Amino acid sequence: MIERILQLIEERGITAYKLTTDLGFSSSSISEWKKGRSSPKADAIIKIAGYFDVTTDYLLTGTKQAAKRETELIIDPEFEDFLVAASGGDGEITQEAYDEVAAYVKLMKARLSNK
């Protein structure tokens, strides 16, 4: 994931410092991520994805998704079970909220697989 963040920084012609200050992260965040001492938390991943106008899936996996239609909720079959929990049980959820939950779940799976 950090490799994709660094690539986006380079492609956009900004500095890591600019990214951290624009998003309100500590100035050492990216350095700590590069060294493997910490990983971006779900809220940071979401902020970075928004900043670079990419999906959280892209940051986490490198997968570029097709454009989503605004009226249809696009659900990764791997995360269907989380839809009920994320929607408070009523099944009504926005794509943005669903994507945040899915990003968090992917992050947790990645952390657990690294142990």
CA dihedral 60, 77, 86, 54 (to 10 degrees): 30
Tens-place pLDDT, residues 4-53: 888 988 998 988 888 888 888 887 888 888 888 888 888 888 888 888 88
pLDDT of residue 86: 62
Return the residue matching tokens 């500095």. 15
Residues 89-114, mean pLDDT to the nearest whole number: 74
For 38-94, give the secondary structure using H, E and C.
CCCCHHHHHHHHHHHCCCHHHHHHCCCCCCCCCCCCCCCHHHHHHHHHHCCCCCCCC
> How many structural domains are present in the chain?
1
Which CATH number belongs to the domain containing residue 18 in this structure?
1.10.260
CB half-sphere exposure, 39, CA atoms < 13 A: 16
Note down the domain range covering 21.
2-113
Tens-place pLDDT, residues 68-81: 545 565 666 666 66
In angstroms, the CA 61 to CA 63 distance is 5
What is the model's pTM? 0.55
